[in-house]
Every structure is written in structure tokens, then in C-alpha cells.
Amino acid sequence: MKENNPRIKLYIACSLDGFIARKGGSVDWLTEYENSSETDYGYSEFYASIGTVLIGRKTYEQVLDFGVWPYGEKKTYVFTRQKEPLRREKNVEFVSGNVGEFVRRLKENTDENIWLVGGSQLIRVFLEEDLVQDMIVFVVPVILGSGIPLFDRIGKEVRLRMIDTERYESGLVKLEYEIEGRHKKIANHKRKDIQKFG
């Protein structure tokens, strides 16, 4: 028996108009917040709490462009439909095929929580397939006007439970939600039936 049922967590920053990057992938507008001397927005604590990093191919290439691979201590899976080989960083594996099936097996084989880094396309798949449990979104005080959306017209309605907010000196606001999963609802519903007839 595993001690802990790992949770998949989105932990990401976006502009007030919901963009995680400019059109070409640039996150230059985030730099002034990343280098804050006052706070790391809980990043160290969060990073220490997760065992695995999940990342889409485009975001992977974007992060590679930054120069230093930042997730070397964590097992990282890069989701890709490309045949062309990609540069492979430390602890990185490439994944194709059924996302839901992969995630089910991954969760069976780890006790530690999992970080869904992004980007837009992978987040969409994860939300549509009910694979995310927690969402920590940092709202940056800027309207970018255009870019890559955090939520790219998700093909379903997702109800959330507000867990925590925090406001930082810099103007960033953390919004932390749990996803009210369908499985949970079904379980509650069953419990009610038992009470009703039991």
C-alpha cells in the first residue's frame, strides 16, 4: 500500500488577461518578479514537495532556451508527438501516447506530488481528462493583450474550490484552488444513497 496518493498540481503565473507567455513564448514580463529579494512566492517549498515534473514539448524547448535546465533533480517527463529527437537534459524522458494511461501508471508508482509545468496544450489535455487536482495560479499585475493562454478554451466546465489566496508586495496574487473532481462527487452521491436506504 502506498502511503500517499500523489496529486497533480498546476503551479503557474499568468497575466490578468490569462496569458502565460507572449506569442513567441517569451516570459520577459515575469523577470522582474522572479528575481524578488523579498519572496520566492513559495517556490522553494513547492519545488521540494514534488517528485516529478510534467512538461509539454514546446515549453520544454522554451525552457532549454533559457540556458540552464532548472528541473535536473526531478524526474521530468516531456510530452511530445514529434518524431525528431530533442536535446535530452538530466533525468528527462520523452513520452508519447495516451496521457491519461501514462498518468495513472505514474501515480501508482510514486508517493510524491507531481508538478504540471505547462504549457497551454498540455494543461488543456490534463483539465479535459480530469487529471489535475490542485491549481496554484499567480496573477501578475499586467494586461498583456496577446499571448499563449493559460486556459485555451478548455472543452468542459470545471468547478473549483478556493483554498487560499495570498497577496505579495510586488502586486502578484496567489489563487490556490482544488478541483472538485467528478469521482469525488460520485463517491459522495453513493454515500448519500447508502444513508438514504441503509
The residue ranges that bind its own copies (CB under 8 A) are 16-18, 29, 127, 135, 137, 139, 141-146, 150-151, 153-162, 165, 167, 171-173, 175, 177
C-alpha closest to that of 89 among 115, 135, 53: 53
Least distance (Å) from its own copies to the CB of residue 142? 6
Nearer to its own copies, 33 or 115 (CB): 33
CB of residue 130 vs its own copies: minimum separation in angstroms?
12
Q: Which is nearer to its own copies, 13 or 78 (CB)?
A: 13
The alpha carbon of 128 is separated from its chain's Cα centroid by a whole number of angstroms, namely: 13
Spatial CB neighbours of 184, under 8 Å, sequence gap ≥ 6: none
The least CB distance from residue 160 to its own copies, in Å, is 4
| Of residues 17 and 89, the one with the C-beta less far from its own copies | 17
- Following CA atoms 105, 110, 111, 112 in sequence, which dihedral angle do they give, to the nearest 10 degrees? -110
Instruction: For residue 164, give the amino acid letter.
Output: D
Closer residue to its own copies in complex, CB, 36/96: 36
d(CA 125, CA 113): 19
Separation CA 158–CA 156 (nearest Å): 6
Minimum CB separation from its own copies for residue 131, in Å? 14
